[in-house]
Every structure is written in structure tokens, then in C-alpha cells.
């Protein structure tokens, strides 16, 4: 028996993370990574890499590049990976009565929008485009539904959460916002970003210098630097990236200081906005935990910087690890510092937070509650005990070499059989002529501390790995997933 869909009085807006939007110049794709062989794609971009580089950080600077849609999934080793938004989209349309609109055009009244944006730009300018979308579509939906109280609910992955937060606070969008739900958003920046600037963009031991220079030109990447004191300088003091004695290699202190002011603006406007009786925005961050995550940078002098997992002194050790990309402390918005019951901890990797099946089922219930009469603050329960799973893997491996994985189980319970299920992500172009999906189970062996395994014979392409436990008491059956590339 088919269950009737729930009402959705509000407007849902999906915001992807960095690199999550297709970019085109005219009809020419500038950023639309093929699901397979991304490394070869990057190497063959030629002029497209140069087109991605921003020559001017003026928000009005027009280089002819526009965002046209969401990328189905992306693997850019050491920069970002995400498993697309198909799972999130499917769950929303299965549970709610939604009408899809197009963010690029002024069409019929709708209450579901995917918001592609030029992820190279300053998040403040992107937020202004988001403001234009809300101001165009929300009044239209309110008139159509005859509901003057309809608002917007943002579902934002990674950097998309910074865009939405700036709109809510600095652009005073709080009076039109019901809720902001973020999936692994670096609300305080991510230390891993430092390595992109310092070491350059390298993969398989080779620096792709053109791509390095492109990354260093993007205001959005600068805004992902940690806003807190995560760098130990040569004098032993812990500092922000723009406070070190000497400039960190590849990082302009002036540019970093200007870029990170976005957080100060959000904080300032929040303190002012919350005095308004109309302020009633529910903020719910999904926080990945249990995965080894870069936490700090140590300046060694002579242009050398070491990136590691040691926590800075101002970060409490209960916030160790994270989702493998964003430290746990960074996934919490500053305004929720003392409100842990409004955090949603999830034992998952950054790339797959937004598509976790168990989370999506619970998310549907949260969204449904927001449409009912119960208007108290959203609450999310912390995990029971410390049952969880950590997954370590190489983001990219060379064809012909084994793909190696290791799993740590944070539980007193015996996990019994631990299996890594590997499937190849579908490439629609290849799929039109031949079958490309490859799925297999790879048993992992216990070596005393971890469960380890390797997969051999994988052809070049993009893959998803999902860890499975034989004992539910040790954690969910399908508990942690991530993406990797065979080049």
C-alpha cells in the first residue's frame, strides 16, 4: 500500500558544496567532471583550467562562466568528493508533495529548487544570488498556496552551508527562513585547505601546477581556511593563518584576512538579528565523526609546513576527528556552541553525509515536523554510546595497483564479519554503449587493531565503497561510505 505524501508548505532549496555545480562558458563545459578518470580529465582540460582561474575578485567581474546544474557526483582527490544529491532528492520527492522549479528562470510556482552556483566566487556574492532566488520565488509560492507564513528551508552540503548562513544573517533572510540544515559544512573552516595552498594540488605524486594556480585564485577556497587558531607558528604560539610571522607558502595574508571576514560578518549580524522577535530560524548541523581528520598545521620554517591530526589547544579533545574532511569542531556553527542537543552527530564520511539512508529517513521526519503545529526548536539525539566506524582509504590509486582500505570499529561489541562493498559509479556516456557497473564484496581481515582489505583488478573509473558489519550491535549494517578514483 502506497503511503500518501506529506504536505510541504515551505520552499526547499538544495545548495551543493564546492565543485558541486556544472560551469559552462556558452555551450562549452568548463567544469563538468566525467564520473570516470577525473585525473585524466583535469590533465586534458587545457584552456578550461585557465578559464576556471579568476582574474579579478570583483563580484561584478563577468568572465562569461555560468552555473547550469548540479554535478551528479565529484571526485577531486585531496580537494573534495561528494556522492551527489540523488539520494537526498529521491527521499524528498518520495515523502513530500513537491513541485520542482528552475532556479535559472521565473517559471510556475514551485517549492523545490536545486541552486547551482559559481563555486569559484566569494560566498557573499553567491548569497546575493540566493537572495534573488528567494525574493522571486517565495512570494509567488505564498500567493499560490494562499499561505503568507510559508518560508524557506535550506538543505546545504559543505560550502553551500556558508552561502545559506550569509543569506540568513548578513542579508537578513532570517524572516523568510524556516530552517537551515547543513551536511558537513565547515562553519569554522577546514585545516585541510591549508595544504592546497602550501603544497599545491598534487595527486599520484604529481603536482598539477595549472590547477594549483587556479585554486589559489579562488576567493571561495580562501574562505574555507580555518578561522580559528589552528596554526602553530615558529615562535610556538597558535595563530590564525593570517597572523603568522612569515606568510605561509602560497597563502596571501591580506587575502586570507579579507576572505575570513565573512565569518565575522555572520557572527555580528546574528547577534543583532536574534534580538528581533521575528527571528525563529532552526539551525541543524549534521556533524560527521569517527573519521581521521586533519586538525592543525605546524610551521617548521624555511617554507615547510606539516599538516596533522593534533588538536589545537583551544579545541577540546572531545571534538577529536571529524568526517575525514571537516573537523568535528568546525561542523558546529558558532551560535550553537552551547546547544549540543541541536547538533546531529552521524558516523559518516564527508562525501556521503547527505545520502546516508538512515539519516535521510530521519530527516524526512524532521522536515514533516516543521510543517506541523509543533514549532519548538528542532532537537537531534546524540549517538548511543560510541558505536561507530572509521574508514581510511586512498582517494586515488593507479590502475593495476590494489585499492587498500582499513576500518576501525569504535565499539566494545564484536563487529564479526567486516566487508567492504565496492561498486563502480555509472557513467551515463559509457553506459549508453556498454555495462560499466561493477559491484563486489571485499572481506576485511582483522590484524589486531584494524580491519584491513584490498581490492585488485579495478579498471580506471570512480567507485563507491560501503562498509558493512556482521553484528548490528557494533553499529549500523551499512555504516560508512566514501568515494575513490582508479586512474
Place of cell 584494524: 450
Q: What is the pTM of this model?
A: 0.83
pLDDT confidence of residue 236: 94
Which cell goes with 186?
Answer: 565547515
Name the DSSP class of 291: B
CA 185 to chain centroid:
6
Q: For domain 11-190+260-294+318-370, give the CATH superfamily.
A: Alpha/Beta hydrolase fold, catalytic domain (3.40.50.1820)
CATH of domain 389-486: 2.60.40.10
Element (H, E) at 367: helix 357-370
Q: CA–CA separation, 350 vs 72, rounded Å?
A: 16
Task: pLDDT tens for the chain, 487 residues: list them.
Answer: 456 788 999 999 999 999 889 888 888 778 876 543 344 445 444 556 677 888 766 667 788 899 999 988 766 655 556 677 888 999 999 999 999 999 999 999 999 999 999 999 999 999 999 999 999 999 999 999 999 999 999 999 999 999 999 999 999 999 999 999 999 999 999 999 998 888 766 554 545 566 778 888 899 999 999 999 999 999 999 999 999 999 999 999 999 999 999 999 999 999 999 999 989 999 999 999 999 999 999 999 888 899 999 999 999 999 999 999 999 999 999 999 889 889 999 999 998 888 888 888 899 999 998 997 644 444 544 444 456 788 988 888 888 889 999 998 877 767 778 888 998 886 544 444 454 457 888 888 888 778 899 998 888 888 889 988 887 766 666 678 888 888 8
Q: CATH 2.60.40.10 in the chain, residues?
A: 389-486
Tell me which residue of 124, 131, 19 sits closest to 76, measured CA to CA. 19
Which cell goes with 280?
Answer: 525563529
Amino acid at each position: 500500500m502506497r503511503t500518501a505524501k506529506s504536505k510541504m508548505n515551505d520552499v526547499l532549496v538544495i545548495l551543493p558544496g564546492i565543485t558541486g555545480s556544472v560551469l559552462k562558458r556558452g555551450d562549452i563545459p568548463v567544469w563538468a567532471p566525467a564520473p570516470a578518470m577525473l585525473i585524466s580529465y583535469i590533465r586534458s582540460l587545457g584552456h578550461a583550467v585557465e578559464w576556471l582561474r579568476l582574474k579579478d575578485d570583483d563580484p561584478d567581474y563577468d568572465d562569461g562562466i555560468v552555473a547550469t546544474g548540479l554535478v551528479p557526483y565529484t571526485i577531486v582527490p585531496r580537494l573534495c568528493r561528494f556522492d551527489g544529491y540523488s539520494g537526498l532528492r529521491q527521499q524528498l520527492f518520495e515523502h513530500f508533495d513537491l513541485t520542482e522549479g528552475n532556479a535559472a528562470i521565473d517559471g510556475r510556482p514551485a517549492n523545490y529548487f536545486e541552486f547551482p552556483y559559481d563555486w569559484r566566487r566569494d560566498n557573499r556574492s553567491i548569497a546575493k544570488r540566493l537572495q534573488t532566488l528567494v525574493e522571486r520565488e517565495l512570494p509567488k509560492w505564498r500567493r499560490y498556496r494562499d499561505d503568507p507564513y510559508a518560508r524557506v528551508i535550506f538543505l546545504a552540503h559543505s560550502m553551500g552551508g556558508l552561502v545559506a548562513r550569509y543569506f540568513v544573517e548578513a542579508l537578513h533572510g532570517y524572516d523568510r527562513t524556516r530552517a537551515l540544515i547543513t551536511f558537513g559544512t565547515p562553519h569554522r573552516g577546514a585545516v585541510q585547505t591549508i595544504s592546497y595552498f602550501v603544497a599545491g594540488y598534487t595527486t599520484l605524486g604529481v603536482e598539477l601546477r595549472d590547477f594549483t594556480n587556479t585554486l589559489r585564485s579562488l576567493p571561495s577556497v580562501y574562505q574555507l581556511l580555518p578561522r580559528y587558531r589552528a596554526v602553530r607558528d615558529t615562535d610556538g604560539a597558535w595563530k590564525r593563518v593570517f597572523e603568522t610571522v612569515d606568510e605561509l607558502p602560497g597563502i596571501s595574508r591580506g587575502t586570507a584576512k579579507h576572505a575570513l571576514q565573512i565569518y565575522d560578518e555572520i557572527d555580528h549580524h546574528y547577534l543583532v538579528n536574534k534580538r528581533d522577535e521575528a527571528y525563529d530560524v532552526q539551525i541543524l548541523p549534521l556533524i560527521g565523526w569517527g573519521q581521521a581528520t586533519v586538525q592543525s598545521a605546524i610551521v617548521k620554517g624555511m617554507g615547510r609546513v606539516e599538516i596533522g591530526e593534533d588538536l589545537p589547544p583551544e579545541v577540546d579533545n572531545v571534538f577529536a576527528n571529524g568526517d575525514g574532511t571537516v573537523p568535528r569542531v568546525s561542523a558546529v556553527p558558532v551560535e550553537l556552541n552551547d546547544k549540543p542537543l541541536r547538533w546531529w552527530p552521524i558516523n559518516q564520511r564527508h562525501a556521503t553525509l547527505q545520502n546516508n539512508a538512515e539519516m535521510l529517513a530521519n530527516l524526512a521526519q524532521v522536515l514533516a515536523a516543521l510543517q506541523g503545529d509543533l514549532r519548538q526548536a528542532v532537537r537531534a539525539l546524540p549517538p548511543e554510546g560510541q558505536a561507530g566506524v572509521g574508514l581510511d582509504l586512498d582517494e586515488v590509486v593507479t590502475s593495476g595497483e590494489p585499492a587498500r582500505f582499513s576500518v576501525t570499529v569504535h565499539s566494545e561489541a564484536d563487529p564479526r564479519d567486516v566487508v567492504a562493498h565496492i561498486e563502480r559509479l555509472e557513467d551515463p556516456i559509457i553506459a549508453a554503449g556498454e555495462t560499466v557497473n561493477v559491484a563486489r564484496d571485499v572481506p576485511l581481515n582483522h590484524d589486531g587493531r584494524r580491519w584491513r582489505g584490498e581490492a585488485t583488478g579495478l579498471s580506471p573509473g570512480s567507485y563507491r565503497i560501503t562498509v558493512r558489519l556482521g553484528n548490528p550491535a557494533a553499529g549500523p549494517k551499512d555504516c560508512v561510505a566514501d568515494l575513490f578514483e582508479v586512474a
